[in-house]
Amino acid sequence: MKYEILTLIGKYCITSEDGQMVYDLVYPQLLADQLLELDFVEVEIFAAPFFNFAIGQLLRDLQPENLNRLLKISNLNQVGKQILKLVIENSKRYYSDPDYRSRLDKVISEQANNTQL
């Protein structure tokens, strides 16, 4: 199965909401051990929130080697590749290290509380 991100999202893959939409589409198929391709042809702008939600949270339930086997990313420009690589590295650590996850969640919560004041 191949999904064209330009058709699904548009030229700008920035928001967590758009990333969640991609995740909701691909997650059940990956759990069913189906091969998928996300094609980023003509997508121009990327941001970490998009990749955190679209790809990063897949590592909560899938082993990195399974994700690599099942999910092909194609036509991602150099900036997108760099952001995706960083998101995957961070997600692997977040989901595999409970102490790190706890500390990071605490910092994020504190920052959110300080922003609301």
Residue 11, domain extent: 2-116
Instruction: Give me the pLDDT at residue 117, please.
Output: 56
* DSSP codes, 45-84: EE-HHHHHHHTGGGGGTS-HHHHHHHEEEES--HHHHHHH
Distance CA 40, CA 37 (A): 10
User: pTM for this structure?
Assistant: 0.87
Total number of domains in the chain = 1
**Model pLDDT, residue 71:** 97
pLDDT of residue 104: 82
**How is residue 1 annotated by DSSP?**
-
What is the distance between the alpha carbons of residues 76 and 32, in angstroms, rounded to a whole number? 25
**Within the chain, which residues score under 70 in pLDDT?**
115-117
In this prediction, residue 49 carries a pLDDT of 95
